[in-house]
Amino acid sequence: MGYISCMNKSSITRRGFIGRLSLGAAVMAVRPFDLYAGAKRADKPLGIALVGLGKYSTGQLGPALKQTSLCRLMGVVTGSREKGEQWAKDYGFPVKNIYSYDTMQQMAGNPDIDIVYIVTPNGLHATHAIAAAKAGKHVICEKPMARTVAECDSIIAACKAAKVKLSVGYRLHFDPYHKELMRLAKEKDFGAFTTMTGDRGFIMNNKPWRADKQLAGGGPIMDLGVYIIHGACMAANGAAPLWVTASEHPKTSPEIFTDVEEGMNWTMEFPGGGICTAQTSYRHSADRFRAEGNKGWIEFKEHAFTYRGMVVETSRGPLSYTPPNQQALQMDNFADCILSKKETPVPGELGRRDLTIIEAIYEAAATGQRVKVKP
């Protein structure tokens, strides 16, 4: 399923080929809410409040919340009242559910809101996630979870103390191509993946918050490299690397990258001998990932970590799935976990794990040493 063809076409019977296609089509036609048809239904969908109405909320999460069935947009936290009112009109929630960053703790008394989704710059995640937990709301925190492991710990502790669930916006766990990567890693279909490579970058010509250490926590390793780190851990069947080495790219635009790296090369050494060699940068465009075992390989050739347009090949043939709405699946899954009292597959601990690796990468780049990842 999903594999277009791994054999010579003439060796596939017409019936088998069509059967395979129609089964594939049936799977691909599944709508997000059908996947949760067996889940305990709420009388009404859980209410989500988005914190930060920037590009990701506007372009992806808001529209995705029109496709979810177990949760819906019921409020916003924004610095602009006017923007909030426009969102209330567009999404049909009451204006009483518009909060500012300073008043978000008042959500505590608002039963319309069950989940608070933090979509502000990385440096504000801890403050906003902790405020949401203290208001007694379940929390989704965007990636990277925070700037440091210590901040991740404080978010996890606040959610535990408030007895609310915490998840990270790792939407690719709900993407069929990445699910196939996880399946291959688990079942060792291609053998254990021992050689991995990744490259992710885009060209940044101005200085937004993403190039500001205080707000971003670092440069492209925080924003983009985290995808390769996470993908490599998926390919390692959930294991974290034991050791890393790293070197920062020389700065070609020091006026933009004053206190963060412009690019980074790094390697991760996994238990069992698997190695991932990767780079990330704000000075070139790339979005690729490859994992190879002794019996085969999978290569995300284009748009490896984005929402759609993935081009994925394997030693068994190309993979083809109709891209679902990853964000709708992710948010419905979290709502289902809350309603069914289940563990989320993307808990805060996964976001924290990735920060332990990022901290080791920064230390390796600064010291030139091979650095042990501290779990």
Interaction between residue 63 and ligand NAD (CB under 6 A): no
Q: What percent of the residues of the chain are helix, what percent strand, and what percent coil, each to the nearest 5?
A: 40, 20, 35
Interaction between residue 91 and ligand NAD (CB under 6 A): no
Options 143, 165, 177, 362, the catalytic residue: 143
What whole-number distance in Å separates Cα of residue 371 and Cα of residue 358? Answer: 11
Residue among 260, 224, 262 nearest 354 (CA) = 224
Q: Report the nearest approach of ligand NAD to the CB of residue 307 (Å).
A: 7
What whole-number distance in Å separates Cα of residue 373 and Cα of residue 244? Answer: 7
Indicate which single residue of 9, 14, 15, 55 sits in contact with ligand NAD (rule: CB under 6 A).
55
Interaction between residue 143 and ligand NAD (CB under 6 A): yes
> How many chain residues bind ligand NAD (CB under 6 A)?
19
Indicate which single residue of 17, 33, 56, 321 sits in contact with ligand NAD (rule: CB under 6 A).
56
What whole-number distance in Å separates Cα of residue 241 and Cα of residue 98? Answer: 42
Q: Report the nearest approach of ligand NAD to the CB of residue 83 (Å).
A: 8
What whole-number distance in Å separates Cα of residue 66 and Cα of residue 47? Answer: 12
Task: List the x/- string, 202-231, binding to ligand NAD by CB under 6 A.
Answer: -------x-----x-------x--------
213 is annotated as an active-site residue: no
State how far the alpha carbon of 168 is from the alpha carbons of 53, 116, 143, 201, in Å: 18, 12, 6, 22
Interaction between residue 79 and ligand NAD (CB under 6 A): yes
Task: List the x/- string, 96-135, binding to ligand NAD by CB under 6 A.
Answer: -----------------------xxxx-x-----------
List binders of ligand NAD among 158-197 (CB under 6 A): 169, 171
> Is the Cβ of residue 53 or residue 360 nearer to ligand NAD in the bound state?
53
Q: Report the nearest approach of ligand NAD to the CB of residue 37 (Å).
A: 26
Task: List the x/- string, 25-54, binding to ligand NAD by CB under 6 A.
Answer: ---------------------------xxx
Contact between 118 and 79 under an 8 Å Cβ cutoff? The reply is no
Options 36, 177, 227, 362, the catalytic residue: 227
What whole-number distance in Å separates Cα of residue 334 and Cα of residue 165? Answer: 9
Identify residue 35 by its one-letter amino acid code.
L
227 is annotated as an active-site residue: yes
Scanning the structure block, which residue is given the tokens 């492209």? 220
What whole-number distance in Å separates Cα of residue 286 and Cα of residue 201? Answer: 5
Q: Report the nearest approach of ligand NAD to the CB of residue 54 (Å).
A: 2
Contact between 291 and 195 under an 8 Å Cβ cutoff? The reply is yes
∠ CA 317-319-323, nearest 5°, is 170
- Please identify the residue of the shown chain whose CB is closest to the bound ligand NAD: 54
**Residues acting as catalytic residues:** 143, 227
Site residues, ligand NAD (CB under 6 A): 52-57, 79, 119-122, 124, 142-143, 169, 171, 209, 215, 223
